[in-house]
Amino acid sequence: MDFETYDQSDPIVAAVIRKMYQRSQVGIKKYGTTLEENNEDDFLNHAIEEAMDLILYLTKVKSILEKKGISNLQNIK
């Protein structure tokens, strides 16, 4: 699927799809295979490790925002 052929009525979804496509292309170039073709990796543990990294990154961003006096994203306009 060409990433330009999907419904782009939601710009947030469109941006995520575009980034996913770009990330896929980087992975294919780096590893020489698609995720569909790769049956070698331990995907469950990779996912757990990525989720733990996400928690760390989100906690870091929250800390930065709190240091700037921003405790609730709803107050940002």
Interval 63-77: pLDDT, tens: 999 999 998 887 676
* DSSP track, 20-73: HHHHHHHHHHHHSS-TTT--SS-HHHHHHHHHHHHHHHHHHHHHHHHHTT---G
State pLDDT tens for residues 41-63: 899 999 999 999 999 999 999 99
Q: Give me the pLDDT at residue 4, please.
A: 61
- Residue range(s) defining the domain that contains residue 1: 1-39
Are 1 and 35 within one domain? yes
Residue 48 and residue 26 share a domain? no
Is residue 56 domain-shared with residue 77, that is, in the same domain?
yes
Are 35 and 1 contained in the same domain?
yes
Q: What is the pLDDT of residues 3-12, one digit of tens each?
A: 566 677 899 9
Say how many domains are in the chain: 2
